[in-house]
Structure 1
Amino acid sequence: MLNDQPLRCLYRDEALLVVHKPAGLLVHPSAIDRHETEFALHYARELAGQKVFPVHRLDKPTSGLLVFALSSQVASTLGQAMMAREVEKQYLAVVRGWPAAAGRIDHPLKRDPVNKQDRREQPIQSAVSDYQCLAQVELPIQVDRYPSTRYALVQIQPHEGRKHQLRRHLKHLGHPILGDVKQGKGPHNRYMEHTFGRGLWLACVQMRFAHPLTGAPLCLDAPLEARFTPLLQAWGWWDDVPSAWQPRGERLLLGK
């Protein structure tokens, strides 16, 4: 028996199991994280009561919507749809600075080698992401070298599924995701950890695709984790988040 079930079921039918994955949980075993013993795949199997097949993946520190197929045939169908860019994903990210109101990041990415010991030159792959800025805040505090500090809430859609595509694209844009140890900046990450807790401020909040059995349009939404609530309220961003993506539960009473 596994520990307390960390996955929350968002949708289920004869073909699919859709869950919310918390930050900090791997989707499946990985050579990079050999010490880990708990995986979303195992919890999803327990939740479904049968074998499940991961359709896509979320990085360990990324929370949000995760889809499992209940048969290998459905997994293959959705895999082909993803390869054909027929699956739309939306993410929310909290970033450093103020990006433009909207834009497209067309920045090819070098593929990471599967084996870190592989020194061969890796191929460069096309990668495009569209984004729009939903909200901004300027704090009257000095976190880094400026007397005030700017952050923004960004909705971003990757058109491929390159490894760490959104993290690398937002870094390329000059607005790294807060809590990103590799792409971000230490003073801002430490400020976020001290103020709102440790973690990557990135979540998958929506997926749209044709149902693999019926072909009917399917739109799936995932509310943000509860850890986003203090941030959204402290920075006045609650109403800037679509209601389907707002954290569930009671809103905090600030100042209490």
Structure 2
Amino acid sequence: MLDILFQDDYLVAVNKPHDLLVHRSTIANDVAEFALQILRDQLGRKVYPAHRIDRKTGGVLLFALDKDAERAMQQQFADNKVSKKYLAIVRGYTDDSGKIDYPLRKENGTLQEAFTAYTTLHCAEIQVPLGKHDTSRYSLVEVSPTTGRMHQIRKHMAHIFHPIIGDRTHGCNKQNKL
């Protein structure tokens, strides 16, 4: 059962736990449960995802309750009338704020524009040696993508040498073991 945060006649917002796919995918054939299916069964009606978030990401996920609401929400996202904000712990001390303008490659090889802004909320240094350093430094950042590319935040933060802690694909596996 998913925790419903908001519901009206057109939309429902749920708290998607990490490690749950939004919908069935060919890249995860072994997965039996999806947010779409769980919510559909929970409400007893069809639901339509207005957007997606990565499997390993937890947070607010918005579903439309009919096709018209789905189209309207997708248009809102396309027109950047909806903002998305994420919190991430990244390796190292980040600048106070920044904008990342770095195109990302689709699976078919085509480059797509991708823009991400971030603001540093807090920095911390812990007395745990890692590699040649006597301590480990981290930043808590609020990240706001203005485009919605696959793994955009993960790829962008790694691109500026501040990979997200826990990201096994684009991150630092030595840091992930802490």
TM-score range, shorter chain: over 0.9
The partner residue of 1:188 within 161, 175, 178 is: 175
Q: Corresponding residue for 2:79?
A: 84
Shift of 1:48: 2.2
Instruction: Tell me how far 1:44 sits from its aligned partner.
Output: 1.0
**Residue 45 in 1 paired to residue 40 in 2?**
yes
Residue pair 1:95, 1:177 contacting (<8 A) in 2 also? yes
Query: How far off its partner does 1:124 sit?
Result: 0.8
Aligned to 2:147: 160
> CA shift at 1:143, angstroms?
2.4
**What is the Cα deviation at residue 144 of structure 1?**
2.8
Q: Using the alignment, how far apart are the partners of 1:56 and 1:94 within structure 2?
A: 23
Secondary structure (helix, strand or coil) at the match of 2:26 reads coil
* Contact persistence 1:25–1:39 (CA under 8 A): yes
Partner of 2:18: 23
Any idea what SS the aligned residue of 1:99 has?
coil
Matched, 1:73 2:68: yes
Amino acid in structure 1 at the alignment position of 2:37: H
- Counterparts of 1:104-143 in structure 2 under 5 Å? 104-113=99-108, 122-143=109-130
- Deviation digits for residues 213-247 of structure 1, max 9, x if unmatched? xxxxxxxxxxxxxxxxxxxxxxxxxxxxxxxxxxx
State the partner residue of 2:50: 55
Name the Cα RMSD after superposition. Answer: 0.9
Contact 1:129 1:169 in 2 (8 A): yes
Give, as a single letter, the amino acid of the residue that structure 2 aligns with 1:140: Q
How far the C-alpha of 1:81 sits from its partner, in A, is: 1.5
Look up the equivalent residue of 1:92 and give its one-letter code: L
SS for the counterpart of 2:74 is helix
CA drift of 1:49 comes to 2.2
Q: 2:160 pairs with 169, 173, 177, which one?
A: 173
Q: Which runs of no fewer than 5 residues in structure 1 stay unpaired? A: 114-121, 192-256
- TM-score, normalised with respect to structure 1: 0.68
Letter in 1 for 2:130: V
Alpha-carbon offset, residue 64 of structure 1 = 0.3
The answer (yes or no) to whether the contact 1:53–1:70 under 8 Å persists in 2 is: yes
Alignment of 1:227-242 (within 5 A): none
1:187-230, Cα deviation, whole Å (9 max, x unpaired): 10111xxxxxxxxxxxxxxxxxxxxxxxxxxxxxxxxxxxxxxx
**Contact kept in structure 2, 1:29 and 1:39, CA below 8 Å:** yes
SS at match of 1:131: strand
Aligned match of 1:144: 131
TM-score scaled to structure 2, two decimals?
0.97
